[in-house]
Structure 1
Amino acid sequence: MFRRVAPLLAEFNFVPLVSKVSHRETRYRLLTKDHVSVVHPGAGLPEMLKVDPAALTLLSSTAFDDVEHLLRPSHLACLRKIFDDPEASDNDKFVALQLLKNANISSARLLPGCQDTGTAIIAGYRGEQVFVPGNDEEALSRGVYDIFQRRNLRYSQNVPLGMYDEKNTGTNLPAQIDLYATKGMEYSFMFVAKGGGSANKSYLFQETKSVLNPKSIRRFLKEKLAMFGTSACPPYHVAVVIGGTSAEMTMKMVKYASCHYYDDLITKPDMRTGYTFRDLELEKEVLKICQDIGMGAQFGGKYYAHDARVIRMPRHGASCPIGIGVSCSADRQALGKINKDGVWLEELETEPIKFLPDVKEDELLNVPPIKVDLNRPMSQVLQELSKYPVKTRLSLTGTIIVARDSAHARMREMLEAGKPLPSYMKEHPVYYAGPAKQPDGLPSGSFGPTTAGRMDPFVDLFQSQGGSMIMLAKGNRSRQVTDACRKHGGFYLGSIGGPAAVLAQDAIKKIECLDMEDLGMEAVWKIVVQDFPAFIVVDDKGNDFFEQL
């Protein structure tokens, strides 16, 4: 009466989750032919590539030396392209010009392009015919250590002393090193210097099948892409990954895609070579969404993003993870490889001056900046700023206090313990930043702004005590800051995120550690600036420039 029907079994067919990419357009330079040799173990075994740990140290050290000071020609070309676009705003062009000038300064290797010289991230793929005597991670870490000691870079890594206490390592170690096994007789690498601003703009959304249709995915992306704001230093390289066999796989692909690692990925699913593919049409739509957001290159315009990468992956039927992330204006990565011919590193641009347009700042912005003298009582400076609307361009000269996350947290503890807020927080504007090391002969190391939003929880409290009345940093802020400024008569001034070397060379004239020296780069500093560029973003009347876009 009942028949048992045998299930139809699919035949075994191995297909890689992600197809191999060639990086065939990448140009490499030879670092050395030393430290590598081909050995023949015999007994029917294939020849092996013996790699001395010194090769890993040399490659790691040189890679991070390059990425901290140089950029890919393709990224510089994206900045240069802004000047040829009639739809680009004057603010887009002004920011692009500052970033190109910054690239030119940092290429001299005295000042890094960004003060946040980042977490050192290394991904390595070691072929099965590659033999390294010793510890690969240790050799690569040694390279990171060497270059951070030798160059004017910043130590940003904190290690826990317990659950709540921590200290800066003073070396920028530990690095994040992920090593994988693969086929062949080559050891290939990707080196990334990832700053906190762009790393913090990595988002995972656990969605469902319901979002997998054109209308829903566009609505979803339009909402989420606007969340990034400008605090991670646009123009961005945007990466979107839809699907993934796990949350961690999705976010790994986001990081790799934002670094252009998968630019050679197949553009349609292939049941033989790989299921994961780039969707070129959706990439165009994502870029258009970014252009229409209106934030532009930090202060309004079209160039919120240079480009977009959208990758579709397999997923579990009950899950639909979607990851979104960015690489910022400090687009710092390089590929490397070690083979029988030597140790190789991707060629970055050593002469970025060729990308500079023949244009001056005054030609881009018709209205000259308002010159503001900071060397007078705070009440007088506030009174002058109150005359001007949001978006007004300023040129600041005088004394500024520098304090960021850890210093703010310590000051809050002081208030909670019944102690007063330090007087310097009441007498001067506060700049959210942390400098890189100071080169010999220069008044300052690279010293660009950090993300303002991390200090939002402190603003109302500090302003109620007469502090933080003028704040200077990068990126948009939350409603609580706008409300606090309206209530207490304060201002938030936006600085361009990205051109840290320009600020160190042109605007910062003197720097000294003022307080909390034990916090390292997060100590309280006093700086003297001349013609420091800024924009009024939030005023004392409750107006927010970004809400008007």
Structure 2
Amino acid sequence: MSGVPYTDPLPLGPDTTQYRRLTTDGVATVPAAGRQMLAVDPEALRTLTETAMRDMAHLLRPSHLAQLRAVVDDGEASPNDRFVALDLLRNANIAAGGVLPMCQDTGTAIVMGQRGNRVLTDGDDHRHITAGVHAAYARLNLRYSQMAPLTMWEEVNTGTNLPAQIDIELAHGDRARYDLLFMAKGGGSANKSFLYQESKAVLTEARLTAFLEEKLRALGTAACPPYHLALVIGGTSAEYALKTAKLASARHLDALPDSGSPLGRGFRDRAMEARVWELARRIGYGAQFGGKYFCHDVRVVRLPRHGGSLPIALAVSCSADRQVKAAITPEGVFLERLETDPARHLPPVPDDRLSGEVVRIDLDRPMDRIRRDLSAVPVGSRVSLTGTMVVARDIAHARIRERLERGEPLPDYLRDHPVYYAGPAKTPEGRPSGSFGPTTAGRMDGYVAEFQRAGGSLVMLAKGNRSRGVAEACRAHGGFYLGTIGGPAARLAEECIREVAVLDHCDLGMEAVWRIRVEDFPAFVVINDRGEDFFAPIASPPLQISSRPQA
């Protein structure tokens, strides 16, 4: 069997990660079967997992923060690009205090591990890792987002943020080392993972570029750009292509080689990365509200494939760029160093450099007056909101629709106040709010026309672009959609949200209807009462792409 040709499909170079040692407890070197083995106690796995989940909720990689600072410093960036990047840096500074997580969607806990052949555990690794996830979400100001199906139609929140996704595999070679990658994947970011089943016909430079432009335009801003974008061309199966894209979006595969081999090793195509990065810059989405910083960077991985199948996978890591590497070795338990002092990335930038005129909107007035003021503001303009809003998202919208279907009117709160699509994390003791950023607006698109016909949802606030049907409903009923920055949930809680109280459907937990009072809450007019959509012009003809390298 030693003569059978074998190639690692994802051969990585040396690990250059900067680690910190958590402990030497729970690891020991023991002899067994004539070899030195690494024995790992259950508590080491549990403690490592809890610490990783805590760090990810509050801290980011230094490289990610440096990329945000580069946006602020770029004289060619749009004012909106710079405004969003600076807001995300301020958010990181608040989250690093360890009280408010950086995003209200504290994610599905995902753990991917590679266990060396000379690592000994009690065999119940999944249970110990799960215990660490449970402890972190129970003790910290995070959010429980996992829904358990009772029947095909009925669900309940698990109240623990479990189950976690845990995938442990055997590492290649002779190793006394346990490597793990921890991720916290929010719903908005996860929803922007796509699989396309294509064929050999797309494998020309011109056709692949045109294909990718179409998909990038469809990607939109709902998952909080600037993105770390990953594209995988090929794969021995659809699921392997998607898994590889997720790993690449976390920059976990950066050490891949730059060329393939006759035996089918995967590699990075850096020339294609430069082309796609330039395409993303020129499309015009920018860092959520126009500009060139749709993506921080791009990874393109080419994999072997079956001759009759060409999977193409796309994935993003969003502004809540939450992943951290770990390693257990004979020297101890190690976790990747994240940035504990993000303030050093904050530049002294005057506010007037970041944005033009800001229109202030008083929300504590009749809805007709609010709409009259918004009607005078061009799409793409920034507004500052102060006053009362109601908060409702997926499940609350479904329940309110049931009222309409029974012949009942909309609740007054949807008629009298703007509606903010969001769901908060836990509220820390002594504070008015937990992290409370926007959720993806598009998930509520199917309700808009119906609710607006009934006199409600005439001013909506969330993140991301929306369907043409929403613009048509706003034109028909005099409605507005305001987009706020996706990502800075801790800053919104710290500086903008003054009061929070449950208003309706209290049994839904974070999905309940809330009443909140805000002060200087930032937003942009995306769709107005004439049906004008700020993002619509981005659907333009294909662009001529230069081969300028990535910064």
Q: What whole-Å deviation, never above 9, does each CA across 1:149-204 have from its counterpart, x for those lacking one?
A: 11111111111011110011111110000010124111110000101111000110
Q: Classify the secondary structure of the residue corresponding to 1:225.
A: helix
State the shift of 1:23 in Å: 5.2
With 113-122 and 416-425 compared, the bigger mean Cα shift is at 416-425
Matched, 1:532 2:512: no
Q: Which stretch of structure 1 is more off in the superposition, 212-221 or 79-88?
A: 79-88
1:205 corresponds in structure 2 to 196
The yes-or-no answer on 1:403 pairing with 2:392 is: yes
Letter in 2 for 1:359: V
Residue 231 (structure 1) aligns with: 222
Which among 83, 96, 102 is matched to residue 107 of structure 1? 96
Task: Please identify, of 140-149 and 181-190, the stretch whose mean Cα deviation from structure 2 is larger.
Answer: 181-190
Residue 348 (structure 2) aligns with: 358
Query: How far off its partner does 1:22 sit?
Result: 4.0
Distance in 1 of aligned mates of 2:486 and 2:141? 19
- Cα deviation, residue 12, structure 1: 6.5
Deviation at residue 16 of structure 1 after TM alignment: 2.4
Q: Distance in 1 between matches of 2:10 and 2:323?
A: 21
Partner amino acid, structure 1, of 2:129 = L
Residue 509 of structure 2 aligns with which residue?
520
Aligned-partner Cα distance in 2 for 1:14–1:90: 55
Contact (CA 8 Å) 1:456, 1:481: kept in 2 or not?
A: yes
Distance in 2 between residues matched to 1:346 and 1:99, nearest whole Å: 22
Distance (whole Å) between structure 1 residues aligned to residue 125 and residue 4 of structure 2 = 34
AA partner of residue 220 (structure 1): F
Residue 322 of structure 1: aligned partner: 312
Unaligned residue ranges in structure 2 (runs of 5+): 539-551
CA contact (8 A) 1:15 1:271 kept: no
Contact map agreement 2:19 2:336 (CA 8 A) in 1: yes
* Partner of residue 255, structure 2: 264
Q: 1:308 aligns with which of 276, 286, 298?
A: 298
- 1:64 aligned to 2:53? yes
Give the structure 1 partner of residue 277 of structure 2: 287
So what's the TM-score if we normalise by structure 2? 0.95
Q: Is the 8 A contact 1:258 1:327 kept in 2?
A: yes
Report the CA distance between 1:134 and its aligned residue. Answer: 4.8
Structure 1: how far apart are the matches of 2:175 and 2:416?
A: 63
Computing the radius of gyration from Cα coordinates, the structure with the larger value is: 1
One-letter amino acid matched to 1:32? T
Q: What code does the residue aligned with 2:313 have? A: G
* Aligned partner of residue 545 in structure 1, secondary structure: coil
Following the alignment from structure 1 to structure 2, what is the Cα–Cα distance between the partners of residues 165 and 33?
Answer: 46
1:127 is the counterpart of 2:116: yes
Deviations, residues 511-540 of structure 1 (Å, cap 9, x unaligned): 011111111111111100011111110000
One-letter code of the match for 2:483?
G
Q: Deviation at 1:14?
A: 2.1
C-alpha distance after superposition, 1:366-419 (max 9, x if no partner): 32x111111111111111211121112111111100000010011111211222
Amino acid at match of 1:46: R
Partner amino acid, structure 2, of 1:53:
P
SS at match of 1:268: coil
Residues of 2 paired with 1:252 and 1:179: CA distance? 13
Q: Which residue of 1 aligns with 2:331?
A: 341
Report the more deviating stretch, 389-398 or 493-502. Answer: 389-398
| Aligned amino acid, residue 213 of structure 2 | K
Query: 1:321: how far off?
Result: 0.6
Q: Which amino acid aligns with 2:349?
A: V
1:365 positional shift: 1.4
The equivalent position to 2:165 in structure 1, one of 160, 171, 176, is 176
| Residue of structure 1 aligned with 2:73, choices 67, 84, 109 | 84
| Equivalent residue, structure 2, for 1:6 | none
> What does residue 186 of structure 2 align with?
195
Mapped partners of 1:14, 1:328: distance in 2: 39
Residue 17 of structure 1 deviates from its aligned partner by: 4.4
Aligned equivalents of 1:528, 1:130: Cα separation in 2: 54
User: What per-residue deviation string (whole Å, max 9, x for no partner) do you get for residues 217-241 of structure 1?
Assistant: 1111111111111111000011000
- Contact 2:105–2:145 at 8 Å: present in 1 too? yes
3-state DSSP of counterpart to 2:410? coil
| Paired residues for 1:449-488 under 5 Å | 449-488=438-477
Is 228-237 or 130-139 further displaced after alignment? 130-139
Counterpart of 2:541?
none
- Assess if the C-alpha contact under 8 Å between 1:15 and 1:275 holds in 2: no
How many pairs align? 535
Letter in structure 2 aligned against 1:532: F
Identity of aligned residues (%): 56
The aligned residue for residue 219 of structure 1 is 210
CA–CA separation in structure 2 for the residues paired with 1:46 and 1:392: 67
Query: Alignment partner of 2:289: what SS?
Result: coil
Measure how far apart 1:271 and its partner are.
4.4
Deviation at 1:37, TM superposition (A): 1.0
Contact kept, 8 Å, 1:121 with 1:191, in 2: the verdict is yes
1:476-508 CA distances to partner (integer Å, 9 max, x unpaired)?
000000000000000000100001011000100
Question: Once the two structures are superposed, what CA deviation does each residue of 1:412-433 show, in whole Å capped at 9, x if it has no partner?
Answer: 1121122221111111100000
| Residues 11, 257 of structure 2: 8 Å contact kept | no
Partner Cα distance (1:27, 1:388) in 2: 48
Distance 2:136 2:193 in 1: 27
Contact 2:103–2:488 (Cα < 8 Å) also in 1: yes
Q: Map 1:483-498 onto structure 2 (within 5 A).
A: 483-498=472-487
Q: What is the CA–CA distance in structure 2 between the aligned matches of 1:202 and 1:486, rounded to whole Å?
A: 32
Relative to 1, partners in 2 of residues 1:125 and 1:314: Cα closer, same or farther, differing over 3 Å? same
Residue 298 of structure 1 corresponds to which residue in structure 2? 288
The amino acid across from 1:337 in the alignment is A
| Maintained 8 Å contact 1:113/1:501 | yes
Residue identity matched to 2:427: Q
Cα distance between partner residues in 1 of 2:34 and 2:509: 53
**Cα contact 1:507–1:532 (8 A) shared by 2:** yes
* Conserved? CA contact 1:28–1:344, under 8 Å: yes
Task: State the distance in 2 between where 1:530 and 1:88 align.
Answer: 28
Could you tell me the TM-score, scaled by structure 1's length? 0.96
